[in-house]
């Protein structure tokens, strides 16, 4: 912030006190962010920048109507408050329903376990990207295009509300993305990897093996036969499980989507059975050490862990204070915004399927002909329908992993697929590569995870899906 924290606190307290009587709810968020963005395509630099941004947002609610204003000049804060209040009073004509929360006053800093990326010179970060780019290109002459993207961000946020909450939070987030496309005549194949961390710069500095693997997968796939489209029993690895639970099920658990869609509300009825009694699904920012973890959400609600499916039945959903108030349910601490340009909306944090009891080798038992799929290179969802492109895949024959195949796309209806989970592996993996998009807020850090799964009646085939 451009002023010392004590001065910022005093300023926000004065402004909240001056304007709180004009609305039912008032929140002011100030934010300072600095970061690095590097993009290499081939050996050419497309982006190489370091930046610092300072700004804020005001949210006001009056008779159920919301006003919002964002700004990057602290001197205009009072004017922005008046703008947000005027908008809220203009559209409000019902009742403000916000679930009650206890006011919080806290300073929270997510600790790093290693080197802060702000201590690494830009030239050293660029050299890291160049090294990874050279590894991608060196794998094979058939590598046609490559890309390497590096990003780090340090954010510090101060939130004050008319409920008496005053919170300062800060954290560092890092991410790298690699892609290599191999071409042999008309055949084109792509390998991708994404790595994220909120722990240390070192987590991105020792990825030679993963980078080489991404390019090698693209090259290897050139000579593989495409999978024969059909409905198969499929075994998926934990990375695909994490993608599935986040994209196909997690978004449907966000209560703003449910509240605004009567048909989805009917489908997502609490107590409805969606899977076997072994199926447990959770979301929560409370588990420490993951990219979707934090102390308080962007409404000042403490992080929690929410069970969404218990013993196969729907038992919970993800809330902001408003959706919890409108549906008469408990807040879950899932109101998040990407930065000060956007208002908080209901978002996932870390979403996972709990590990099961089936040894992973036993997941293949009894499958006469099926598919084993690992990792992912793309995908898309449309409501309750999904299609995911596997990064690698093999046929399963008579209970054994057999020949590798390519162009494996898994499609289905999320509710039918949950019901078709036949066995849940005893392994588990956290994938920290997620960057979630919703309501124009793309790239929000999330985590997802789970065990290997055995699922029957999965439609396999088709052309490669678009990248998420």
Q: Who's near 124: CB < 8 A, 6+ residues apart?
A: none
Residue 4 has pLDDT above 60, yes or no: no
In this structure, what token pair is assigned to residue 208?
């030679």
Sign of the alpha-carbon torsion through 264, 267, 270, 273: negative
**The Cα angle at residue 394 between residues 388 and 398, in degrees rounded to 5:** 125
pLDDT in tens, 136-172: 999 999 999 999 999 999 999 999 999 999 999 999 9
Q: What is the pLDDT of residues 37-67, one digit of tens each?
A: 999 999 999 999 999 999 999 999 999 999 9
pLDDT tens digits, one per residue of 342-356: 999 999 999 999 999
User: Of the candidates 295, 292, 284, 285, which has an alpha carbon nearest to the alpha carbon of residue 110?
Assistant: 295
- Helix, strand, coil distribution of the chain in percent, nearest 5: 25, 45, 30
Tell me the pLDDT of the chain averaged across its residues.
Answer: 95
The pLDDT confidence band at residue 462, using thresholds 50, 70 and 90, is low
Which residue is listed with tokens 């830009």?
Answer: 122
pLDDT, position 58 = 98
Distance in angstroms (rounded) separating the CA atoms of residues 87 and 44? 46
Residue ranges per domain, the chain?
5-222, 230-460
Architecture in CATH of 5-222: 2-Layer Sandwich (3.30)
pLDDT value of position 419: 97
Find out whether 37 and 16 touch, Cβ atoms under 8 Å.
Answer: no
Question: Which band of pLDDT confidence, cut at 50, 70 and 90, is reported for residue 6?
Answer: low
Look at strands 335-336 and 187-197 and give their pairing.
unpaired
Please choose, from the candidates 255, 272, 204, 270, the residue with its C-alpha nearest in 3D space to the C-alpha of residue 97.
Answer: 255
């Amino acid at each position: 912030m451009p002023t010392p924290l004590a001065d910022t606190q005093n300023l926000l307290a004065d402004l909240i006190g001056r304007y709180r009587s004009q609305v039912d709810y008032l929140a002011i968020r100030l934010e300072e962010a600095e970061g690095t963005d590097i993009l290499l395509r081939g050996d050419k630099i497309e982006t190489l920048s370091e930046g610092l941004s300072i700004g804020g947002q005001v949210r006001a609610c009056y008779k159920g109507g919301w006003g919002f204003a964002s700004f990057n000049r602290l001197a205009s804060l009072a004017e922005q408050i008046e703008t947000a209040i005027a908008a809220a009073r203009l559209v409000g004509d019902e009742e403000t329903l916000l679930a009650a929360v206890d006011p919080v006053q806290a300073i929270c800093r997510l600790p790093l376990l290693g080197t802060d990326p702000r201590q690494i010179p830009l030239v050293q970060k660029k050299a890291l990207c160049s090294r990874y780019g050279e590894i991608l290109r060196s794998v094979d002459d058939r590598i046609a295009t490559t890309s390497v993207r590096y990003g780090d961000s340090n954010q510090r946020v101060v939130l004050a509300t008319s409920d008496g909450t005053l919170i300062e939070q800060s954290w560092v987030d890092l991410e790298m993305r690699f892609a290599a496309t191999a071409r042999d005549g008309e055949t084109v194949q792509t390998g991708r990897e994404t790595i994220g961390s909120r722990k240390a710069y070192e987590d991105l500095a020792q990825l030679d093996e993963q980078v080489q693997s991404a390019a090698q997968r693209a090259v290897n796939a050139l000579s593989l036969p495409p999978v024969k489209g059909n409905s198969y029993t499929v075994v998926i690895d934990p990375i695909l499980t994490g993608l599935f639970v986040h994209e196909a099920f997690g978004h449907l658990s966000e209560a703003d989507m449910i509240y605004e869609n009567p048909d989805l509300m009917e489908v997502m009825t609490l107590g409805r059975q969606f899977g076997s009694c072994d199926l447990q699904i959770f979301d929560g920012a409370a588990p420490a050490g993951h990219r979707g973890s934090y102390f308080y959400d962007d409404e000042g609600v403490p992080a929690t862990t929410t069970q969404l499916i218990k013993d196969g039945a729907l038992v919970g959903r993800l809330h902001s204070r408003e959706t919890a108030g409108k549906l008469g349910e408990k807040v879950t601490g899932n109101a998040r915004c990407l930065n000060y340009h956007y208002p908080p909306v209901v978002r996932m944090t870390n979403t996972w399927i709990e590990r099961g009891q089936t040894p992973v080798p036993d997941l293949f038992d009894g499958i006469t002909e099926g598919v084993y799929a690992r990792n992912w290179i793309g995908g898309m969802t449309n409501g309750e329908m999904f299609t995911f492109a596997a990064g690698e895949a093999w046929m399963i024959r008579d209970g054994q992993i057999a020949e590798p195949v390519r162009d494996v796309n898994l499609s289905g209806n999320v509710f039918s697929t949950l019901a078709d989970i036949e066995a849940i592996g005893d392994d588990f993996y956290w994938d920290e590569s997620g960057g979630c998009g919703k309501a124009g807020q793309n790239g929000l850090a999330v985590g997802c995870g789970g065990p290997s799964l055995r699922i029957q009646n999965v439609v396999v085939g088709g052309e490669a899906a678009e990248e998420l």
